[in-house]
Chain A
Amino acid sequence: MKKYRVLVVDDSPFGQRIVENALMNSEFEICGFAGDGLEGIEKYAKLQPDIVTMDITMPGMDGINCSRELVSRWEDAKIVMVSSMKDDSLILQGKANGIRAFVQKPVDGGELLAVLTSLVQPVTQESFLGQYADKYAKSLTEVLKQLGIQTQAVSIDDNPLPFVVNGIGIVIGITGAYQGRLILDMDLATAVAFAKTSMAQMEVTQSDIQYSVSELANIIAGNGTSKLNRQFEGLDLRVTPPSILVGESISVISPKLKMASVTAETTLGLMMINVGFTGGRRIGR
C-alpha cells in the first residue's frame, strides 16, 4: 500500500521523534526532517511531500513564515501546525498563512493521525456515514465509564427499524455539513437508577431524572460530534439543546435519514442511542 509522505519541520530532535513515533505503523511515513523554516522550504522543493508537520518557534525562519512561503509557491501544500502553543490568535494567524490544522504538544498520537488522515483523505459521504455510529457508541461508553457506570455489551445496528421511545427520550438536533439528530432513550426504571447514581442521591424527583438524562444525552452528543469534527475537516457540526419526550410507544420518524442504533447493556439497564444524518452538502474549504 502506498504510504503518504510526511515532512517534519521542527528544530528539536525530541519534537521530531514524537511525530516519528506517532506515525509508526500507520499509513504515513516520514520522508524528511528540517530543523528550521528555510530548510523546510528546501526539503519541500526536493521531496514534494504529501503533508508537512510544522513547529512554530524555530531559529531563523519560524513556522508561520515558512508556511506562508510554502503555500505561496505550492498552493496545495498541506500543513499541520504541531506546536506547544495553540491559542485563538495563533490559530487565526496560522490559518491566514495557509496552515490547515492545529495540534498541540505534547502530541496525542491518535489525534495527530486523525488530523493528518482528514487532510489527505477528503470527507466522502461513505467515510462519514460509515463511521459516525462508532463515534457516538464510543462517546456513550466513555461517558458512562467516567460516571462509574459499567457497560457490559454494546452493539451497533446500521439498519435499524424506525425508532420507538419507551420511557424517556432525549432528542438533540445536529447541524452543519450533515444535518441530523440523536435520540437517547431508556425506560423509566433505568432513568431513575441513572439519576440516583449520577447525582449520588437516594431519592430523586421527576425533574432530577429529566435533567440528568438530558445532560447525559447532551454530553454524549457533544463528545461524539466533536470526535467527528476532529476526524473530518470542514464538517462544522453543532448540536442543539435537548428536547425531552416522555411516554410509551412513541414513534420517532425521520424521513430521509441514514440511521444507526447503538444499544448499551449497562449495570443500570438498557440505554439506546439512535442517530442519523441526511446525505449532506458538499464541504468546501
Chain B
Amino acid sequence: MDVKMINPFIEAFSQVMPQLGFQNVTRGKLSLKDQFVDSKGVTVLIGMTQQVRGNIAYNMNEQTACKFASVLMMGTPVAQLDAMAQSALGEMVNMLTANAAIQFSMQNLSVDISTPSLVVGESFKAKVSEHQFIVVELMIDSELIELNIGVEKGA
C-alpha cells in the first residue's frame, strides 16, 4: 500500500489528542507487514468504506488503554477497562478515525467509517488486511500506541 495513506491518521492524532488533554504526539518506528501482529492486550478495530477501503487497528497495552480512558474521563482514575472506560476508548478511536476521514475528504476522497470494536484478550493476534499493511508507532506523551493501517484507494 501507498505509505502516504498513513498521513491522515498521523495528522488526526496531532489534531485530536491535544484537544483531549495530551501534550505531545511523536512518530516512532514504521514498518511494512503482511503477517499477523501480536496484540499488546487491547486492540480497537475500525473499518473504512467508499473511496478509501480497509481497516485500522489501534493496538496498545491495558495500562495505556486505562490511561487514555482516564484522560478522556476528565482525570477520573481508571484501574481496569470497565464498561465506562471501554466506551471512552471506543469514542476516542471513533474521533481519531473520523478526523482521518475528514483529512481524506480534503484530498477529495469520500470516506465512511464503521463502528469500532474493542478486542481484548490475554494472547491473540490480528491482521487488518489480506495484503500488505503499515505498522507505525506513536508516542502520546509517554504512552505507546501502535497503528496497523491496511487501507487502499477504492473506486
Are A and B genuine complex partners? Answer: yes
Where the two chains meet, the residues of A that have a C-beta atom closer than 8 Å to any C-beta of B are 165, 171-176, 179-181, 183, 210-211, 214, 238-257, 276-278
For A207, the closest partner residue in chain B by CB is: B130
Partner of B49, one of A214, A238, A246: A238
Chain B contact-residue range equals: 35 or more
Stretch at the interface among B16-24, B25-33, B71-79, B117-125: B117-125
Closest Cβ of chain A to B38, distance in Å, is: 9
Q: Which of B107-145 contact A (CB under 8 A)?
A: 112-130
The answer on a CB contact under 8 Å between B45 and A247 is no
The answer on a CB contact under 8 Å between B118 and A244 is no
Whether B15 is near chain A, meaning CB under 8 Å from some CB there, is no
Whether B87 is near chain A, meaning CB under 8 Å from some CB there, is yes
Partner of A240, one of B47, B87, B127: B47
Where the two chains meet, the residues of B that have a C-beta atom closer than 8 Å to any C-beta of A are 36, 39, 45-50, 53-55, 57, 83, 86-87, 90-91, 112-130, 150
Bound CA span A211–B131, Å: 11
Residues of B within 8 A of A242 (CB): 130
Closest Cβ of chain A to B31, distance in Å, is: 18
Q: Is the interface of B mostly helix, strand, loop or mixed?
A: strand
For A250, the closest partner residue in chain B by CB is: B121
Q: Is the interface of A mostly helix, strand, loop or mixed?
A: strand
Bound CA span A57–B95, Å: 50
The answer on a CB contact under 8 Å between A250 and B124 is yes
The answer on a CB contact under 8 Å between A211 and B130 is yes
For A240, the closest partner residue in chain B by CB is: B47
Other than the known A211-B130, A240-B55, A244-B36, what 8 A-B pairs have Cβ atoms closer than 8 Å?
A165-B124, A176-B112, A238-B49, A240-B47, A240-B54, A245-B124, A250-B124, A278-B115
Partner of B47, one of A243, A251, A255: A243
Closest Cβ of chain A to B153, distance in Å, is: 13
Bound CA span A239–B54, Å: 9
The answer on a CB contact under 8 Å between B130 and A241 is yes
The answer on a CB contact under 8 Å between B55 and A173 is yes
For A215, the closest partner residue in chain B by CB is: B130
Closest Cβ of chain B to A23, distance in Å, is: 35
For B133, the closest partner residue in chain A by CB is: A243
Residues of B within 8 A of A252 (CB): 117-119
Closest Cβ of chain B to A110, distance in Å, is: 27
Closest Cβ of chain A to B112, distance in Å, is: 4
Residues of A within 8 A of B126 (CB): 243-246
The answer on a CB contact under 8 Å between A243 and B115 is no
Bound CA span A277–B31, Å: 33
Partner of A253, one of B47, B86, B112, B129: B86
The answer on a CB contact under 8 Å between B119 and A255 is no
For A214, the closest partner residue in chain B by CB is: B130
Residue among A172, A238, A243, A252 with max Cβ neighbours from chain B (10 Å)? A243
The answer on a CB contact under 8 Å between A173 and B122 is no
The answer on a CB contact under 8 Å between A253 and B113 is no
Residue among B48, B87, B116 with max Cβ neighbours from chain A (10 Å)? B116
Residues of A within 8 A of B117 (CB): 171, 181, 183, 252-254
The answer on a CB contact under 8 Å between A181 and B115 is yes
The answer on a CB contact under 8 Å between B118 and A257 is no
The answer on a CB contact under 8 Å between A247 and B124 is yes
Residues of A within 8 A of B49 (CB): 173, 175, 238-240
Residues of B within 8 A of A173 (CB): 45-49, 55, 113-115
The answer on a CB contact under 8 Å between B45 and A171 is yes
The answer on a CB contact under 8 Å between B55 and A241 is yes
Residues of A within 8 A of B83 (CB): 255
The answer on a CB contact under 8 Å between B115 and A254 is yes
The answer on a CB contact under 8 Å between A243 and B113 is no
10 contacts between A and B (CB under 8 A): A175-B50, A210-B127, A240-B54, A240-B55, A243-B47, A252-B119, A253-B118, A254-B116, A255-B87, A277-B115
Closest Cβ of chain A to B47, distance in Å, is: 3
